[in-house]
Amino acid sequence: MYVNDRADIALAAGAKGVQLTYQSLDVALVKSSFPGLRIGKSVHSIEEALEAERQGADYLIYGHIFPTASKQGLNARGLQSLNEITKAVSIPVVAIGGITPERTKDVLAAGASGIAVMSGIWAAASPIEAAEQFYTKVRKEGE
């Protein structure tokens, strides 16, 4: 289990880690204060990715890769940008934003270590079936 933004709650709940946002405390501060937690950081540029890695992030979440209803009015960053990020850092990069089962292969081919999905599951007629489709695609493409 990972907790969004709140390292103190993550520790109290016995979570494995915390996912920091752009508004969160610095990775280095969280890492030194909560050394037992894995630290993820949401990033939106190569500069942010490099800084998060330098501060000790264990992984990154990068996006939004494709257009998505949750980021209306903002340009998607695209597969080329994802590929640039994954080449710039040595830690895993998880892609998020507008990812569908059909796009999974291209996202992983661009260097992502995995995908994060929200509306693709929550907005599905059958969230369980949608989650199974994503799981199958990631396992198939990861082989």
| Rounded average pLDDT over 50-77 | 92
68-87 in b/e form (b: 16+ CB < 10 A) is beebeeeeebebebbbbbbe
User: What pLDDT, in 10s, does the model give residues 25-53?
Assistant: 999 999 999 999 999 999 999 999 999 99
Strand pairing report for 17-20 and 2-4: parallel
Global pTM?
0.92
In the block, which residue shows the tokens 């610095």?
A: 26
**Cα–Cα distance, 132 to 143 (Å, whole number):** 17
Number of domains in the chain: 1
Write the pLDDT tens digit of every residue in 67-76: 887 777 888 8
Question: For residue 16, what are the domain limits?
Answer: 2-142
DSSP-H helix ranges across the chain: 7-13, 27-33, 46-54, 78-88, 104-109, 119-122, 127-142
Give catalytic residues, as residue numbers.
64
Specify the CATH number for the domain of residue 49.
3.20.20.70
- Mind listing the pLDDT tens digit for each residue in 85-109? 999 999 999 999 999 999 999 999 9
**pLDDT higher than threshold 70 for residue 66:** yes
